[in-house]
Structure 1
Amino acid sequence: MKQSPLFTNKESKALDSLAIKELGFREETLMGMAALSVFHANEDLWKTAESIWILSGTGGNGGDGYALAHTLYQEGYKVRSFSTAPNKSEAGKFYETLVSKTLGAIGSIDDFYKEWEEAKEDSVLLVDAILGTGFQNELSEELTELIETINDSDVFFYRLSLDSPSGWNPYALGKSEEPNVFVYADSIEELGTRKWENVGFIYEKDAIIPRYYESIGFPIRTHLSNVTFSNRYYLEADPESAIQTLKRKNKDHKYSAGSAIFYGGETGMEGAILLSEQAFSRLGGGINKIFSPSTKISSLVLKEDLSKMAQTSSISEISNDPFFAKTKTLVVGPGLTKYPKDLEGWTLPEGKNLILDAGAIPSFGNKLPRGNQILLTPHVGELNRMTGKTHNSVQAAYDTLIEFCPQNNVYVLLKSFVSLLVCPDGFSYVWESPNPKLATMGTGDLLSGILARYLSLDLTIPESVQLALSLLDHSKQLEEPYPSAHQILKSLVELV
């Protein structure tokens, strides 16, 4: 799988300390490397600014800001450096002194406000180096006013944050009646490590703010341990593999091409389970059968295609069907309104996969089925119902699921503008690719069918999730602004 490690604030600090104490890096060297990385990564951006203002705080993040100010100035840009207070780290003091010698006096917050009042609209590119990723306390009144000024002012045409937007704290979201105050960064430069706490940073509707990773020599491959890494990864898009994996081979027969069982579709909701089955079969699945509590299911299925199999049944009767022994994957839930009691404590036979979606997502207190390959696919509301907790950020959801998944031996794929897969072995994967075209009825049913298709090819659950989400990402290219789930499926079939 294409993936990149994600580090918490604590883990990033541990790597920073390791690089300095064990590998012999000087902190000044790391700050200088960070400044050069940011400078070169944004050369086109600097050229758009009449003036660049860098606001530096008292910690390592502020030191990075001073190092960047020095580099920009030496490269001929018009730079103004401001400080919230003197820097506290030795490396930060080094660059603070360097800037005062090269740029001249470093402005105070009062100086910042005076120059801001005289500045022209859209004339300043602001670099936010006030607070680092480790700051989780309440903001002082002075910093709150400063950040609100930065956000509201027309003087700043672009706001770039180093490592993390100052004041951003995903764990505080929704916990107070007062809105969270943080810099509304237009982009973020993550230095040395990709930051877990930045995942899901958003202040505009349906828009994840761009984050860019700049390597500065941290030992993120050679010195990982339980202290410096907790097995969190970005899942990176793999659009070509998503398509090629689905193409049938010449030697395939109906079972090797993938087999599946679908259960769902209460009366009046049969379309949901039919859509899941269509996603599976039209994307190359070899053979499948639909079971449903609806008495209309057979007529609806056969009306669509005489070659298909369907049966009115309870979920407990499925395991007695001869087809059950031959199939690899079961999808339960699309078109159901409540968790089937027959699933409570049921044991999934070895070698089979079970996807629980929609109505088959249990409520808090329901007993889960047992097995080694069980995937639940809740959206946020269903996750809250399933765990009895409220989650306002992907980080909060992770904190719940990293205990829930091992305890229940299940995988959970949280579906949101940021998708999170947590595995029972402690590994987790983040998919951060908001797609407003999927915000339509039926796309969850579609995803279940696509997941079943990949799982039926003997891929692991993490591999199947990555490929399914990569395939669905192709829907972004549709010209239709609000495509239906059937239109999305048709476009994916054309790719395959």
Structure 2
Amino acid sequence: MKSYPLFTNQESKTIDSLAIKELGFHEETLMGMAALSVFHANEDLWKTAESIWILCGSGGNGGDGYALAHTLFQEGYGVRCFATSPNKTDAGKFYESLVAKTLGVIGTIDDFYNEWEEAEDDSVLLVDALLGTGFQNKLSPELKELIDTVNDSDVFFYRLSLDTASGWNPYALGKGENKENSFVYADSIEELGTRKWENVGFIYEKDSIIPRYYESIGFPVRTHLNDVTFSKRYYLEADPETAISVIKRKNQDHKYSAGSALFYGGSDGMEGAILLSEQSFSKLGGGISKISSPSLKISSFVLGEDLSKMAKTSSLTETLEDPFLKKTKTLVVGPGLTQYPNDLSGWEVPEGLRLVLDAGAIPTKGNPLPQGNQILLTPHVGELNRMTGKTHNSIQEAFDTLIEYCPKNNVYVLLKSFVSLLVCPDGSSYVWESPNPKLAVMGTGDLLSGILARYLSLDLSIPESVLLALSLLDHSKQSEEPYPSAHQILKSLVELL
């Protein structure tokens, strides 16, 4: 599984301390390496600018800005530095002094406003080195005014933030603080030394995750991956080729080795949800499956489409006693159900069976969960709020809730949003950032539950199955249909195979 460690602000500080105090790095060296990494990563960008302005704060982030300004100047670019106040760190002071000698002058914020008023539209590339990831306080009126000016001005054709967008605080989302604590609307963020947990989900335009680029600067990242100093949060990278190859039928497959699953759902009038879930399983190569439903019409719906299918009207209790369940690897419960089935409360999931709870099978807070070692819940944000009795406005807030909920209930939870989050009962978690507006249609949750069942039925782990299912669904971005239905998305995925 392609995944990369994500570090919290505190963990990043610990790595910084480890590099300097234990491994003997000089802070000036690390700042210089950061500046060189950013410079080389954006060489094409610098060439587009008539002028480059760098706003430098008084901490380490400002020091990175000064180091970058020195490199840009030496490489022949027109660069100006403006400082909110003198730098307070030793390494920052070193590069601030160096820039003062080479550029001749470091402007004040008053100088910034004076030059900004005279500048032409779309003439300046702005580098934001005001505040680092450790800043969580409210902005001063002066900084708020400066950031608002940067955001609203047509002078700046591009805004690049170092490490994080200054003023950004995911824990303030939806709570009104961001109306007071403005943040830089970065066009991209250069994460230095570590991938930052607090940057996950940075968005200021609807359905648009702002690009973040990771630059290695020699930090002892691998040394830091231990249970004491690392909280096991990972960033998932798409694996589209593997997603396709894994579910392609093999020549030696028979109907059970190709994957088996049982689906329960589809209350009266909602039969389409469980049908779509099962179809996504079978049409993507599943070997054998069966639908059980409380609907009296389910057999006519299923057999009317395909006489080779199995369908039965039954209660969940009867379904859990179905001999077919003993032969299957995966059980999906929930698509098309209108309420949580009480029969699930306390049910002992048989060893070796993977249980997926979706839609109507997502419990309300207080509903007892089934018991087992391979249970995956797939709520969207509203269902997560109902499930936990808490409101969540960011991925970080959802994580804080789920990192207690999942080990306590021995379940995996996949939060479906513009950023997806999988939290595991062992305390590890995985983030998937790939907003896909083509999935914003009715039925894509049912589609996902069937795709998950397809991978789970092949004896893959839940984290592996989640990554592959999300990677496969990501192919829908290539659909020629501007607003495809869930059935059209499934058809396009089948064509890939």
Amino acid aligned to 1:484 = S
Q: Which residue of 2 is the match for residue 475 of structure 1?
A: 476
Q: Which residue of 1 is the match for residue 31 of structure 2?
A: 31
Which secondary structure state, in structure 1, belongs to the residue aligned with residue 349 of structure 2?
Answer: coil
Alpha-carbon deviations, 1:239-281, whole Å to 9, x = none?
A: 0000000111111111111000000000111000000000000
Q: Which residue of 2 is the match for residue 151 of structure 1?
A: 151
Q: Give every structure 1 segment of 4 or more consecutive aligned residues whose post-TM-superposition deviation is greater than 4 Å.
A: none
Answering whether residue 131 of structure 2 is matched by residue 131 of structure 1, we say: yes
Amino acid aligned to 1:187 = S
1:87-236 aligned at under 5 Å gives the runs 87-176=87-176, 179=179, 180-236=181-237
1:288-367 aligned at under 5 Å gives the runs 288-367=289-368
CA contact (8 A) 2:330 2:353 kept: yes
Separation in 2, partners of 1:331, 1:142: 55
Separation in 2, partners of 1:322, 1:381: 35
CA contact (8 A) 2:403 2:423 kept: yes
CA contact (8 A) 1:14 1:227 kept: no
Alpha-carbon deviations, 1:35-75, whole Å to 9, x = none?
A: 00000000000000000000000110000000000000000
Answering whether residue 456 of structure 2 is matched by residue 452 of structure 1, we say: no
- Give the C-alpha shift of residue 221 in structure 1: 1.1
Q: Which residue of 1 is the match for residue 52 of structure 2?
A: 52
Separation in 2, partners of 1:160, 1:470: 29
Aligned residue-pair number: 496
Amino acid aligned to 1:103 = L
Q: Which residue of 1 is the match for residue 70 of structure 2?
A: 70
Which secondary structure state, in structure 2, belongs to the residue aligned with residue 261 of structure 1?
Answer: strand
- Give the C-alpha shift of residue 466 in structure 1: 0.3
CA contact (8 A) 2:56 2:129 kept: yes
- Give the C-alpha shift of residue 177 in structure 1: 6.5
Which secondary structure state, in structure 1, belongs to the residue aligned with residue 223 of structure 2?
Answer: coil
Deviates more, 1:224-233 or 1:94-103: 224-233
CA contact (8 A) 2:128 2:162 kept: yes
Alpha-carbon deviations, 1:142-178, whole Å to 9, x = none?
A: 0000000000001100000000000000011112266
Amino acid aligned to 1:285 = G
CA contact (8 A) 2:83 2:107 kept: yes
- Give the C-alpha shift of residue 98 in structure 1: 0.4
Answering whether residue 462 of structure 2 is matched by residue 461 of structure 1, we say: yes
Q: Which residue of 1 is the match for residue 61 of structure 2?
A: 61
TM-score normalised to structure 2 length: 0.99
Amino acid aligned to 1:67 = A
Q: Which residue of 1 is the match for residue 371 of structure 2?
A: 370
TM-score normalised to structure 1 length: 0.99
Separation in 1, partners of 2:230, 2:371: 30
Summarize the Cα distance change of 1:473–1:62 in structure 2 as closer, same or farther, 3 Å threshold. Answer: same
Unaligned runs of at least 5 residues, structure 2: none
Separation in 2, partners of 1:404, 1:322: 32
Q: Which residue of 2 is the match for residue 270 of structure 1?
A: 271
Alpha-carbon deviations, 1:298-326, whole Å to 9, x = none?
A: 11100010111000011011122110110
Separation in 1, partners of 2:136, 2:71: 29
Separation in 2, partners of 1:177, 1:117: 29
CA contact (8 A) 2:236 2:431 kept: yes
Amino acid aligned to 1:147 = I
Q: Which residue of 2 is the match for residue 7 of structure 1?
A: 7
Which secondary structure state, in structure 2, belongs to the residue aligned with residue 132 of structure 1?
Answer: coil
CA contact (8 A) 1:12 1:228 kept: no
Separation in 2, partners of 1:45, 1:400: 40
Separation in 1, partners of 2:43, 2:229: 32
Separation in 2, partners of 1:216, 1:392: 32
Amino acid aligned to 1:210 = P
CA contact (8 A) 1:56 1:130 kept: yes
Alpha-carbon deviations, 1:10-53, whole Å to 9, x = none?
A: 00010010000111100000000000000000000000000000
Separation in 2, partners of 1:193, 1:222: 13
- Give the C-alpha shift of residue 133 in structure 1: 0.3
Unaligned runs of at least 5 residues, structure 1: none
Amino acid aligned to 1:365 = G
Separation in 2, partners of 1:178, 1:231: 29
Alpha-carbon deviations, 1:62-106, whole Å to 9, x = none?
A: 000000000000000000001001101000000000000000111
CA contact (8 A) 2:172 2:178 kept: no
Alpha-carbon deviations, 1:438-461, whole Å to 9, x = none?
A: 000000000000000000000000
Separation in 2, partners of 1:325, 1:121: 68
CA contact (8 A) 1:332 1:355 kept: yes
Q: Which residue of 2 is the match for residue 238 of structure 1?
A: 239
Answering whether residue 420 of structure 2 is matched by residue 402 of structure 1, we say: no
Alpha-carbon deviations, 1:168-191, whole Å to 9, x = none?
A: 000111122662410000000000
Alpha-carbon deviations, 1:427-478, whole Å to 9, x = none?
A: 1000000000000000000000000000000000000000000000000001
Amino acid aligned to 1:40 = H
Amino acid aligned to 1:78 = G
Amino acid aligned to 2:243 = A
CA contact (8 A) 1:405 1:422 kept: yes
Separation in 2, partners of 1:153, 1:319: 62
CA contact (8 A) 1:165 1:188 kept: yes
Separation in 1, partners of 2:229, 2:418: 28
Amino acid aligned to 1:415 = K
Amino acid aligned to 2:65 = G
Which secondary structure state, in structure 2, belongs to the residue aligned with residue 222 of structure 1?
Answer: helix
Separation in 1, partners of 2:199, 2:338: 35
Separation in 2, partners of 1:384, 1:182: 27
Which secondary structure state, in structure 1, belongs to the residue aligned with residue 248 of structure 2?
Answer: coil
